[in-house]
Amino acid sequence: MRAGPSQEDIRRHNLGALLRHVHLGGPISRAELTAKMGLNRSTIMALTSDLTAAGLVREELPRETGRAGRPSLVVRPESSRVYVFAFDVGPDRLAAARVGLGGAILDRRETARRRGPFDLDELAGTLAGFARQMRRKTRPDTVCVGAAAAVSGGVRKDDGVIMFGPNLGAESVPFGEELGRRLGLGLPVSVGNDANLAALAEHSRGVAVGVRDLIYLHGDVGIGGGIITGGHLLGGHDGYGGEVGHMVVNPGGQPCGCGSRGCLEAEVGERALLEAAGRVAARGDTRANALSHDGDGAGRQGRDAVRAVVDAADRGDIVAQEALKRVGGWLGLGVANLVNIFNPEMVIFGGMLREVYLGSAAQVRSRLATNAMGPQRERLRLRTSALADDATLVGAAELAFAHVLADPLEVLARVTG
Ligand SMILES: [Zn+2]
């Protein structure tokens, strides 16, 4: 015997790697797997047999090869049999999805969330109820292999406690533990920051597949960020890294919820845009306060209100155009700082920043031209999120699948045993 990893370690690693190819890339022939993984045909055959026996993949003859000779079997994920639950807790919505191996959203539930304090009991109850509804509709042979949630806040790595989430009204909330208890599946619930998970989702299934250095900016009430460098998410020492929303872009500017002034979030977030467009009361302006309470109650805040400003600007509304210009300028300055520091290949605008960027791309680019350094700027690509409102849910699903891909057979034995 030679020193190094054991045969069992190698087998576990290879099973995970093969399953990852099938999970992320979809159906793939044994011949392609042989080429991609650099293993011989008999090893690939043994690995696919193990995964097939575990019910994680199945093998089929391809429909038409157009070539003579014996066709290579195609390996497919057992998408309708093996699934995870993914949850998203944002300032304005609660969402749950059943996501099959291979990444397809098989079923989903969503409800609006009223902004205000974090009611753990109600929130976990609602999400667990969604999961129960979806589970009742599944066939008896399906198996849930994991659960994870994306939340708008800072999450402690080890135990899924939301340490800070001002836009959710959450502080030191044991969310993962409570949701796991409510689900009653005997599975832990992993919890991650929504912008971090959305960045991973765009990286694995969205606009940034194959991009190793990217920055994803997520806007809702606040601005969150996910930074992937060299193919890895930048977590920081405690896992709270990437909070780009509190980078100061305008010293002495708008007051921010964090206690500082002129943070990216304070100058570019939903409130900044709606204030600049005259659609909510300016901070400290009590006279105009009635504005936010006078109307139909709908469209005064949230994604619809942001879209309404962008639509109005498109139709030629000067106030809306000026508001977008102002916000776009600060956004461009924030992006310029990030580009100078991290030299990403791509910057992705997600959440409500999707709309804001589409309405202010000229200002963002102009700021970049002025404030980002040439070499970092030249090959930079600015993109909107491809997964749009699903980015956080897709990211949560990938988090839930992560341990399955790390050790496919152990996980399956545990959840079915
Ligand atoms: Zn701040």
> Could you tell me which residue, 351 or 412, shows the higher pLDDT?
351
d(CA 330, CA 276): 13
Residue 45 has a CB neighbour count (10 Å cut-off) of 16
Question: Edge-to-edge strands of the sheet including 28-29?
Answer: 28-29, 74-77, 57-60
Asked whether residue 75 is domain-assigned, the answer is no
Same domain? 149 vs 241:
no
Which amino acid would we find at residue 281?
Answer: A
Distance 30 CA to ligand 1 centre (A): 51
DSSP string, 31-77: HHHHHHHT--HHHHHHHHHHHHHTTSEEEE--S---SSSPPPPEEEE
Distance from the first to the final alpha carbon of the chain: 33
Same domain? 143 vs 89:
yes
Same domain? 218 vs 362:
yes
DSSP string, 323-334: HHHHHHHHHHHH
Same domain? 379 vs 230:
yes
Same domain? 142 vs 260:
no
Same domain? 369 vs 402:
no
**Cβ(244)–Cβ(263) under 8 Å?**
no
Distance 231 CA to ligand 1 centre (A): 28
Look at residue 209 and give its three-state secondary structure: coil
Same domain? 55 vs 121:
no
Asked whether residue 71 is domain-assigned, the answer is no
User: Which residue, among 403, 414, 397, has the nearest Cα to 54 in the 3D structure?
Assistant: 414
Q: Considering its fold, how many domains does the chain have in total?
A: 3
Distance 262 CA to ligand 1 centre (A): 7
Asked whether residue 76 is domain-assigned, the answer is no
The predicted-structure confidence for 337-373, as pLDDT tens digits, reads as follows 999 999 999 999 999 999 999 999 999 999 999 999 9
The predicted-structure confidence for 111-152, as pLDDT tens digits, reads as follows 999 888 999 999 999 999 999 999 999 999 999 999 999 999
Which amino acid would we find at residue 377?
Answer: R
Q: Is the pLDDT of residue 66 over 70?
A: no
Same domain? 289 vs 410:
no
The residues placing their C-beta within 5 Å of ligand 1, an ion, are 246, 256, 258, 260, 263
Question: In this structure, what CATH number is given to the domain that contains residue 149?
Answer: 3.30.420.40
Same domain? 212 vs 314:
yes
Phi, psi values for residue 6, rounded to 5°? -75, 165
Distance 416 CA to ligand 1 centre (A): 46
Tokens of 295: 């109307």
Residues of the domain holding 247: 208-385
Distance 257 CA to ligand 1 centre (A): 6
Look at residue 320 and give its three-state secondary structure: helix
**Cβ(124)–Cβ(178) under 8 Å?**
yes
Same domain? 48 vs 156:
no
Q: In this predicted structure, what is the pLDDT of residue 191? A: 96
Q: Is the pLDDT of residue 417 over 70?
A: no
Asked whether residue 181 is domain-assigned, the answer is yes
d(CA 328, CA 332): 6
Average confidence score pLDDT of the chain? 91
Distance 239 CA to ligand 1 centre (A): 18
Distance 185 CA to ligand 1 centre (A): 38
Same domain? 251 vs 227:
yes
Pairing of the two strands 223-229 and 93-100: unpaired
Asked whether residue 68 is domain-assigned, the answer is no
Same domain? 342 vs 236:
yes
pTM: 0.92
